Amino acid sequence: MELVLGGVERARARLQYGAKPVVRISRDLTHPWARRFSIAHELGHVVLRHPPHDHAHATPSRGPLARRAPDIEIEANAFAAELLMPTSLVRARCEVSPLDLAIAHGIAQDFRVTVVAAARRVVELTSERATMVYAERGAIRWARSSPALPWELTRGQRLHPASVAADYFRAGMLDERAQAIPVGAWFPEDRAGDAELVEHSLVLADPPAVLSLLWIPEAAAARLRFDETSQSMEQDVVADLIDLLRGVYQ
Ligand SMILES: [Zn+2]
């Protein structure tokens, strides 16, 4: 596999098939740790012998291949996450209480990945109830919940004024300390009652965005209604995963 810098527009990376696969990395993707994830993702397509398709991750394609695209993107991301942050080395670090972005920071530093990629790995591997959220322009761009939390957040949803993340889009700054706020600031109030979760939000510079980790402590979870999982959840799974990939690969 050959690595080439440049020659990619509106995407982080692109894979060209041939006798020798070529991975092109965008010059706009300057963060070396973000490049590592993109390269690992493209390597995943090659190693997993995925059929050629549009690997630009930029414009949604149409036709039969578009149907398959989400599956192979999910697989390539899973490959990259496992290659760079192996479950055997990372899982134990995600099994802590309280759960906050300091865990993701530590993983990012030690495994040389972005804090966003590390936070996503934390919610994938933890047995705590947690959600990570990537927000831009005052709205949720993508989000992912841990297996223990049967609640998902919707792409495009405006941030609730009571959330810490909303402060940044309103005032240009936020308190980057983990803090207790009403569960209803993020999730529907009819399920939340007056329970509190812990929100840890962090401002990301380029592009301006907020990364949030929402953690529901055991004591709060005991007061929440998890039995009424939304009926549309299963139907939303695929759309949710596509949103996830857009967030990582925009
Ligand atoms: Zn891909």
Q: Which residues lie below 8 Å from residue 123, measured CB to CB, with a gap of 6+?
A: 130, 131, 132, 144, 145, 146, 213
**Alpha carbon of 43 to ligand 1 centroid (Å):** 9
Residue 174 Cα, ligand 1 centroid: separation in angstroms?
34
pTM (whole model) above 0.75: yes
Q: Answer positive or negative: Cα dihedral of 224, 226, 232, 235.
A: positive
pLDDT in tens, the chain (250 residues): 888 888 888 888 888 888 888 889 888 888 889 999 999 999 999 888 888 765 555 434 444 444 455 688 888 999 999 999 999 999 999 999 999 999 999 999 999 999 999 999 999 999 999 999 999 999 999 999 999 998 999 999 999 999 999 999 999 999 999 999 999 999 987 777 789 999 999 999 878 999 999 999 998 888 887 765 544 444 455 555 555 555 555 4
Cα 131 from Cα 159, distance rounded (Å): 14
64 alpha carbon – ligand 1 mean position (Å): 16
Class in CATH terms, 87-249: alpha beta
CA angle 37, 35, 101 (to 5 degrees): 60
Contacting residues for 119 by C-beta, under 8 A, at least 6 apart: 101, 104, 132, 211, 213
Alpha carbon of 108 to ligand 1 centroid (Å): 22
**Ligand 1 center from residue 24 Cα (angstroms):** 12
**15 CA distance to ligand 1 centroid (A)?**
8
Domain boundaries, the chain: 2-57+65-84, 87-249
CA of 22 relative to ligand 1 center, distance in Å: 13
Cα Dmax for the chain: 60
Kindly give the distance from the C-alpha atom of residue 148 to the centroid of ligand 1, in angstroms, as a whole number.
Answer: 28
Distances (CA, A) of 121 to 40, 43, 50, 139: 15, 19, 23, 22
How many Å lie between the centroid of ligand 1 and the Cα of residue 41?
A: 6
